[in-house]
A = this chain, B = another copy of it.
Amino acid sequence: MAASTPVKGTHTPSAGTGSRPGGRSARVRAAVHRAVEELLAEEVGDGLTIPAVAARAGVHATTLYRRWGSVGELLADAATSRFSGDVVVPDTGSLRGDLQRWAADVATDLADPDVLALMRATLGAGGEQGACACRGDREDQLAAMIAREEARGGAIPTVERAADALLGPLYYRAIFTGEPGSPDWARGLVDALLPG
């Protein structure tokens, strides 16, 4: 059990201009992303500035200004890289099992203070784009699990209702209340969603 199926796989750099995604650029990108996460974890909170990130990453600020332009775009890029990497959805054989495992995983992920800090900062600076970056592929993963159950012939909820019943509470607790939900609580959400 606990086999897995990849869902998306878009992990390429944001620059659609597509010129030179090679070694150094990728290194810089990774260093910058890590610097962003580190600084956010250190409770700089308010003043996450380009120069600060550049200094931490060991890169010159000019590079950041040229590649990302603003803190908002930088955060949105970092969030995209963090939240929508190649993800696997669990495959336990039943929709309930899949959702329970998946919800528990999401809850565990959201319980990380660093993840929370990144999400909050991205929401604040990135506007609409940042918000979508924080969702990542989560709704796609939900849709994938539900589609698989549908192929099995089981009873399925709509993706919309599943998102309301699972992603809603999970994200609301993580972002707005101090205490993120536990994996057990997340599994309870699945029981509240599915009949029986």
Would A175 and B43 count as touching, CB distance under 8 A?
A: no
Q: How long is the Cα–Cα vector from A125 to B40 in the complex, in angstroms?
A: 11
Contact indicator per residue, chain A 161-196, by CB within 8 Å of chain B (1) or not (0): 101110111111101111000000000010010000
A9 shortest CB reach to chain B, Å: 22
Stretch at the interface among A15-23, A94-102, A130-138: A130-138
Contact partner of A192 (CB less than 8 A), chosen from B161, B171, B177, is B161
Closest to A181 in B: B164
Asked if A86 is at the interface of the complex by the 8 Å CB criterion, the answer is: no
Asked if A46 and B125 make an inter-chain contact with CB atoms under 8 angstroms apart, the answer reads yes
Residue of B nearest to A71 (CB): B46
Any chain B CB within 8 A of the CB of A12? no
Distance A45 CA – B122 CA, assembled complex (angstroms): 11
Nearest CB in chain B to that of A166: its residue: B168
User: Does residue A72 face the partner (Cβ distance < 8 Å to B)?
Assistant: yes
Q: Which of A45, A164, A176, A178 has the most CB of B within 10 A?
A: A176
In the complex with contacts A122-B124, A123-B120, A124-B120, A172-B165 CB distance below 8 A: no
Question: What's the Cα separation between A170 and B171 when bound, in Å?
Answer: 11
- Contact at A178–B128, with CB atoms within 8 Å? yes
Residues of chain B contacted by A14 (CB below 8 angstroms):
none
A121 within 8 A of B: yes
* Chain B residues whose CB sits within 8 angstroms of the CB of A4 once the complex forms: none
Q: Within the assembled complex, what's the spacing in Å between the Cα atoms of A189 and B193? A: 12
Q: Please report the C-alpha to C-alpha distance between residue A70 and residue B48 in the assembled complex, in whole angstroms.
A: 13
The interface residues of chain B lying within 8 Å CB-to-CB of A93 are none
